[in-house]
Amino acid sequence: MNAIDYLRISLIDRCNFRCQYCMPEGAALDYLLKSALLQDDELLLLLREVFTPLGFTRFRLTGGEPLLRPNLAELIAHIAALPQTQDISLTTNGFLLAEQAADLYAAGLRRINISLDSLDADTFDSLAGTKGRSRWQQVWNGIQTAYEIGFDPLKLNVVVIPGVNDSELMDLAALSIERAWHVRFIEFMPIGNDDLFSDRGWIPSEDIRQQVRDRWGLDEGFVLGNGPADVFKIPGAKGTLGFISQMSECFCDRCNRMRLSADGWLRPCLLNETGQIDLKTALRQGREPAELRQQVQQLLQLKPEINYKERDAGTTGRYAKTMSQIGG
């Protein structure tokens, strides 16, 4: 079992996209009031007094769309300044990235993941729920800006949906050849999107790897990160290809992460809320950090059992909450 030292922090449940796999059409989304969000001072207190003393050193900021969070660069600077912080990264849809990238980099952010599910503007906008107000070009500009500023590694996340973007996978893979971009193919999962999943299904990562082998060949690769991707590269490429294969190649037994939701709930697993802790309410009720730290420690001790249960259960079940509600 890997050391559990990686915390994914959802900063906000709102998003300026409505991606089909994250916030399906017709899904009831009750956004949190600003007062219900974990505030910056509360988050920083938890990091200083609860998480880093328990060995957490790696943090990923997610959403919703984290670039919608006010004073984001200032918050990142505070997290980066914690003596125990070894790595801080962020996942974004990229729409606001061109205007914020320089400030984020100056604050200490170096690693960034950007969603790019299609190179075709119409397909992109259909998936993102932005048809009639195309967002593709602005996202592409954000990717280019982040690359020019020096974010490294710069990862591009592709959720693979049969019959929607699977015809583009080799074009997306080719982005890794001439630039140090790291393209990650993510198997589509049934999380709050039952209609779309039932209609489309999913494609195993090995099928995509075989397409790459047939066209270019495929070598083992490496890229800095804390997540579950299996990493390869096209021979001679500057970047890499990652494959996140929760449906076909369950990696629960090597999970090293916990999840903190935008409203302050600590959860041990994307698909399992066993033992979850409402840290925000506890803080606002005046509970001491030492008491919260003890609770989190108990959940950490429980997590290996949760991981193995998820692994043994397989990944064919459905999860009622949407990805945006869980937190990236």
The pLDDT-based confidence of 224 (bands split at 50, 70, 90) is confident
For domain 6-326, the CATH architecture is Alpha-Beta Barrel (3.20)
Instruction: Supply the pLDDT for residue 270.
Output: 76
pLDDT above 60: residue 313: no
pLDDT for 192 equals 59
Mean pLDDT of 137-154: 97
61: left (phi over 0), alpha (psi -120 to 50) or beta: beta
pLDDT in tens, 155-166: 999 999 999 999
pLDDT digits (tens, 9 = 90+) for 242-260: 999 888 887 777 788 999 9
Are the beta carbons of 99 and 141 closer than 8 angstroms?
no
Domain extent listing, the chain: 6-326
Q: What are phi and psi of 114, to 5 degrees?
A: -125, 130
Position 21 scores a pLDDT of 77
The answer to pTM > 0.75 is yes
Measured CA to CA, the distance from residue 145 to residue 224 in angstroms comes to 20
Predicted local distance difference test score (pLDDT) of residue 48: 98
Q: Which of 296, 223, 222, 283 has its CA nearest to residue 5?
A: 296
**Per-chain mean pLDDT for the chain:** 89
Residue 40 has pLDDT above 90, yes or no: yes
